[in-house]
Every structure is written in structure tokens, then in C-alpha cells.
Chain A
Amino acid sequence: MNSFDQQLNEQIPALRRYARSLLHHAAQADDLVQDCLTRALERRHLWQPGSDLRAWLFTLMHNLFVNQLRKNSRQPLAVTLIDEMIGTQAAEPEQVARNHQLQRQMARLPFSQREVLALVALEGFSYQQVAVIMDIPIGTVMSRLNRARESMRQWLYHEPGPALRRVK
């Protein structure tokens, strides 16, 4: 197996995780991943061996996602998907419920903030890398990250009501 295919295969789980954090619908998320892989294969000649394939793949995914949002702008995806939570690997019912709650709050974020938070907190990209992937200034990355975290913080830890208590 050559290096491109091998690295591509290695990134599939992370791409799937990222797609799920954006779409909250396992099948639609995997469709996005498949589109991303298709595009990567079509454009493999554009990838420079030795450069960061991971960042390149996430850039392709970001662009596909944005295009998809544009196409579906009359029917926002989030509205239809929140009800169908993706599975988690937790065993305890409390943890499963908590995970779904996190997903629900994540789905409340605007897509632009959701993407930044997922790339930073889940995928471990640097702010600079996120700026490149999303093609936005680093100042915009920081302001979106700040707004995303402040909203999540408010919803998860500081809103009254039994449904939003923190699970220890």
C-alpha cells in the first residue's frame, strides 16, 4: 500500500468523528466522509508528499461541508438531525444521556462555531491550522472559539434545570 492510501485510511476514523460532530447523524456524516475521500482520490496529484495530509483532508471536508450547507440553506440540517443522536460507546445510562446532552448542545451552536470547537477540542488542531483549514483569519478563529465555549459553558453548567446538571 502506498503512503497516500495508507495515510488516507488512517485518517478515516478522525474524519468520521469530525463529520459526526458537525452533522449529528451517523449516515449523513459518513456520506460527507465518503465525499471527502472521493475528492481526495480525485485530487491526489495535488497533495504534496511530506505535507500534512490530515490538514489537507480536513480542508477538503470543510469545503464540502460549507457547500452542502449552501445547497441545503433552505432546510437547515441541524433542525432535522438533533432528534437522531449518534451512538456512543459509554456503558452507563447516565454517561450515555450526558453524551447525548453534549451532542444536543453542540448542535445548538452555529456551524461556524461548531467547526472551530470540534477542530480544536476534538481533533487537536492548532489555532493556526484551523485558520488555514477554514480559510479565515486567526482572530476569527479565536472569537468563534470564545463564543462557542461561552455558549457551551452557559448551557451545560450555568443554566438552571435538572436536565442540564453536570454529571460527576
Chain B
Amino acid sequence: MNQPVTEQDLHALVDGLLPPDRIDTVNAWLASHPEDAAKVADYRQINRELQNAYPTPTGDWTPARRKIPSRGWSAAAAMAALTLLGGVAGWQLNSYFQPPAAVTAADLSQRLVQPARVSHRVYTPEILHPVEVRREQQQHLVGWLSKRLGKPVKAPELAAQGFALIGGRLLPSTDGPAAQFMYENSVGQRLTLYVRQADDNKEQTAFRRYSADGLSSFYWVDNGLGYALTGDIGPDALMESANQVYRQLTF
């Protein structure tokens, strides 16, 4: 039962998806149909060339949108133009040009990620006083920080990722208190989890990443608190820890 050879057969041959019992039929067809044979040869060559042209990316990756909120920037430019024009028209268009998502993302960056990263850089190199309250007094630490932040906070467990809690401290944030928990692994690498109050807007709750100067942060907002996990342990390992934190604090 040799069904006529179709276009689909030619593609399937190229892609290795042809049923084995059909291969001989199609090859016999190609032997007597040079135009189809040329097609198949070209399709195969396209596959090979595409695979060369798109190698598997390796190494670090840094999504650009997290660094430069382009919508925010163009909105800012539009606002500047309107301000130059002045007058009532500009004022009326104001609300139209305010992109809520971009504003909150920038806001989050200003109030959560940047202070988290500065605090990380300031306190992780400390040998003698990396934390204010050590893990031996974890209950006191958590109770104290919860009270100051006005919300119950927890120090998540990162033992599965090889990190042990060192302790934590209270910090001034941009407009209120913040908590920092510090973790360390067996080779002395340190992670910090920075927690502060944040508006629980749906737009902001996504899990995001910011990377610059060899330091990565994963951050998100959940249930009225903003979290930023920061470290220089490599993005995959950090993401794993961030998942862990996220799970423990959320579920």
C-alpha cells in the first residue's frame, strides 16, 4: 500500500519524523523526482544552517527591561515635552501618559531593590559585626523585626541550598524601617534577604530579577511586604534560593 508521496513526507524525512516503513518509499520517489530531491537537500541544509546560526546560549543573562524601564522613560520624555508646551492640554494628558505598571516597577526598584543592594554591599563584607542580632536569638530577632515592620516576618530556611542564617538587623529604608537577614554557606559566600513594607499591588507581585556589577537580586511583593534576595553566587543558584524563600513565605 504505497500512498503517493506528499509534501508532508518530504518534511518528515528531513526532520526524522517519517515512520520507518515509509522511508524506502519516499527515498525511491526522490530517486525519480529530482526536483523533490533538491527540495529535501535544501531543507536539510536549512536545518543545519539554522542550528549553526542559533547556538545554545551559555553564560549569564541579564534581562534588559529590568534595568531600563523603557515605558517609564518614554512616558517621562512625553511628560517633559508636555511640560515644555505647558498649559491645560498638558495637564489633561497627564493621566493618560502615566503608565501605572512602569511607575510601580520603578518605585519598587527605588524603594526595594536599590536599598537592598546597598545594604548587601555594606554589611556582607563585615567580619565582626555582619548582623545586629545573631541566629542564636532567632526568636527574639524575628519578633523584634516583625514588630518594627508592623507585619509578621520570618527568616526562611535555606539549609537545602547550603546556606545557614547568620542573623539579622534593622535598617533604615527610604521611608521607614527594613529588615535584613544574612546567610552564609560553607565557603563564606553570603546572601541577604531584605524585607520592607510595600503596597500589595497586583502589578508588582511578579518575580523579577535585577543584575548589575556581578550582583544579582530576585525580588517580589507578597502580602504587603517586599522581598529582595541578593547575592553574587550566580543566577541559577540564586534563583534556586529565591524559589525556596518564595515558597516558604508564600505557601
Partner of B46 from A9, A12, A95, A121 at Cβ < 8 Å: A121
Contact count A vs B, C-beta below 8 Å? 110
Question: Residues of B contacting A108 with CB < 8 Å?
Answer: none
B50/A121 in contact, CB under 8 A: yes
Question: Residues of B contacting A27 with CB < 8 Å?
Answer: 62-65
Question: Residues of A contacting B200 with CB < 8 Å?
Answer: none
B39/A42 in contact, CB under 8 A: no
Give the contact-size bracket for chain A: 35 or more
Cα–Cα, bound, A57→B83 (Å): 45
Confirm or deny: A113 has a beta carbon within 8 angstroms of a beta carbon on chain B.
no
B243/A121 in contact, CB under 8 A: no
- Closest Cβ of chain B to A111, distance in Å, is 16
Known: A30-B61, A31-B64, A88-B55. Contact between A102 and B49, CB under 8 A?
yes
A residues sitting closer than 8 Å to B (CB atoms) are 1, 5, 9, 12-14, 16-17, 20-21, 26-28, 30-31, 33-34, 37-38, 41-42, 88-90, 95, 98-100, 102-103, 106, 117-118, 120-122, 126-127, 142, 145-146, 149, 152-153, 156-157, 166
Confirm or deny: B11 has a beta carbon within 8 angstroms of a beta carbon on chain A.
yes
Confirm or deny: B47 has a beta carbon within 8 angstroms of a beta carbon on chain A.
yes
- Closest Cβ of chain A to B27, distance in Å, is 19
Question: Residues of B contacting A21 with CB < 8 Å?
Answer: 50, 54
A9/B54 in contact, CB under 8 A: no
What are 10 sample pairs from A and B whose C-beta atoms fall under 8 A apart? A13-B57, A20-B57, A31-B66, A34-B66, A38-B207, A99-B52, A100-B53, A103-B54, A142-B8, A153-B43
Cα–Cα, bound, A17→B47 (Å): 15
Question: Residues of B contacting A157 with CB < 8 Å?
Answer: 42, 45
B11/A142 in contact, CB under 8 A: yes
Question: Residues of A contacting B64 with CB < 8 Å?
Answer: 27-28, 30-31
A122/B51 in contact, CB under 8 A: yes
With an 8 Å Cβ cutoff, the count of chain B residues facing the other chain is: 38
Q: By DSSP majority rule, is chain B's interface helix, strand, loop, or mixed?
A: helix
Question: Residues of A contacting B61 with CB < 8 Å?
Answer: 16, 30, 33
- Closest Cβ of chain B to A91, distance in Å, is 12
Cα–Cα, bound, A103→B49 (Å): 10
A149/B55 in contact, CB under 8 A: no
- Closest Cβ of chain B to A55, distance in Å, is 16
A41/B246 in contact, CB under 8 A: yes
Question: Residues of B contacting A1 with CB < 8 Å?
Answer: 160, 240
B52/A152 in contact, CB under 8 A: no
- Closest Cβ of chain B to A66, distance in Å, is 18
Confirm or deny: B190 has a beta carbon within 8 angstroms of a beta carbon on chain A.
no
Confirm or deny: B58 has a beta carbon within 8 angstroms of a beta carbon on chain A.
yes
Confirm or deny: B56 has a beta carbon within 8 angstroms of a beta carbon on chain A.
yes
Cα–Cα, bound, A17→B206 (Å): 23
Residue ID in chain B nearest A6 by CB atoms: B240
A42/B207 in contact, CB under 8 A: yes
Cα–Cα, bound, A98→B51 (Å): 12
B240/A102 in contact, CB under 8 A: no
- Closest Cβ of chain A to B239, distance in Å, is 8
